[in-house]
Amino acid sequence: MTPESQYVQRLVEERRFTEALYFGALMLARQRSPELHLLLGLACHAAIRPLADLQRMLRSYQPSDDPAASTLMIGANTLLVYEGFYHLIEALRQDRKIQIPESTRHVADEILLDLQWYMKQESHGFASNKRDSLKMTAVAGAVLLHRLTGHAGAPSFLLKTEVECADQMIEEELNGTGGDAVFYRSV
């Protein structure tokens, strides 16, 4: 792992996701690496924390107790769900054996929990020019994150049919080139 990737990893471990997205994207523009894609995928998915907290509150659960965790301002139809999924896909395309570093797994587990709450939203439309719905992309992202942390099987909060659809989506994307992410168009 390069010193630049280590810096972005430290930002993710410290839950400084906005900075990880910014500096990671700058570094990715200079040189793509599976580690940077993996870390950017985590940071993109972590950005949904405020939406997950909203779903927790609507269902009488406590939001996260970290006041800094819910400060990103994003909308329910954020494209970061797509971007995060495709960063994870690109990391796997470049290195099929990549795993989330041990020191970052607890952050990935927290992101999985947030994805679970994010998927409880009522509205999950299609963003213009995207093939898959936000919910299906979030499901596929959760399946990928779960596997990249070294967990066996699929996240317990997903239905068998959701996992099957996610597996098919993941396989199609891994065997293709490019995808719906903005970063594919910017290179």
Question: For 70-118, what is each residue's pLDDT tens digit?
Answer: 444 566 667 788 889 999 999 999 999 999 999 999 999 999 998 888 8
Q: Does the pLDDT at position 64 exceed 90?
A: no
Question: For 158-184, what is each residue's pLDDT tens digit?
Answer: 999 999 999 999 999 999 877 767 777
Quick check: 104 and 65 in contact, CB under 8 A? no
Confidence (pLDDT) at 63: 58
Of 88, 51, 90, which is closest to residue 70 (Cα–Cα)? Answer: 51
> CA 13 → CA 43, 82, 136, distances in Å?
10, 22, 27
The alpha carbon of residue 57 and the mean position of all alpha carbons in its chain are separated, in whole angstroms, by 22
> CA 96 → CA 13, 91, 176, distances in Å?
23, 8, 14
Question: For 108-166, what is each residue's pLDDT tens digit?
Answer: 999 999 888 888 876 555 555 677 888 899 999 999 999 999 998 889 989 999 999 99
Q: How many other C-beta atoms are found inside a 10 Å radius of the C-beta of residue 4?
A: 18
What SS3 state is found at 97? coil
Question: For 14-42, what is each residue's pLDDT tens digit?
Answer: 988 888 999 999 998 888 899 999 999 99
Confidence (pLDDT) at 88: 94
Q: CB neighbours of 4 closer than 8 A, spacing ≥ 6?
A: 23, 27, 36
> pLDDT band at 68, cuts 50/70/90?
very low
DSSP category for residue 124: -
How far is 132 from 86, CA to CA, in rounded Å?
12
Confidence (pLDDT) at 61: 67
Q: How many other C-beta atoms are found inside a 10 Å radius of the C-beta of residue 63?
A: 17
Quick check: 105 and 149 in contact, CB under 8 A? yes
Of 155, 175, 12, 178, which is closest to residue 96 (Cα–Cα)? Answer: 175
